[in-house]
Amino acid sequence: MTIAACSSGGSADGDGELACALVRKLPDRMPDQPSGDSSDHSFDVALGRLNTAAELARVAALQDTKYQPLADNLATARQTFSTTFDIHRAEPGIKQARTHC
């Protein structure tokens, strides 16, 4: 099995493509944060994808400024969640990020 990240060569385009692949996997309506002991990991998966996409987009933008809008939108979405603890308030930033993919 070949992992796509290994074949991208670490280029800005490769990082940007990986970020967009993760953005495309994010649901339009983010899952609610689970309460208590839940076997549903959809919230953690979505948050992990958001954080990873934001970091990949940031790295891509460092190499090529065409990825800056994507990086900015994902950073805004991530920051919104980290300050409000409401993942649904991050949805507009995710929606805007999709326009750059």
Expressed in percent and rounded to 5, the helix, strand and coil fractions of the chain are 70, 0, 30
35, part of any domain: no
33, part of any domain: no
Q: pLDDT tens-digit profile of 15-26?
A: 999 999 999 999
- Domain containing 77 equals 12-26+41-98
As a whole number, mean pLDDT of residues 65-80 equals 97
Per the structure, how many domains does the chain have?
Answer: 1
Cα(39)–Cα(19) distance, rounded to whole angstroms? 27
- Residue 2: pLDDT band (50, 70, 90) is very low
31 closest CA partner among 86, 100, 97, 98: 86
As a whole number, mean pLDDT of residues 69-95 equals 97
As a whole number, mean pLDDT of residues 81-89 equals 95
Residue 46 has pLDDT above 50, yes or no: yes
* The model's pTM: 0.85
As a whole number, mean pLDDT of residues 26-40 equals 85
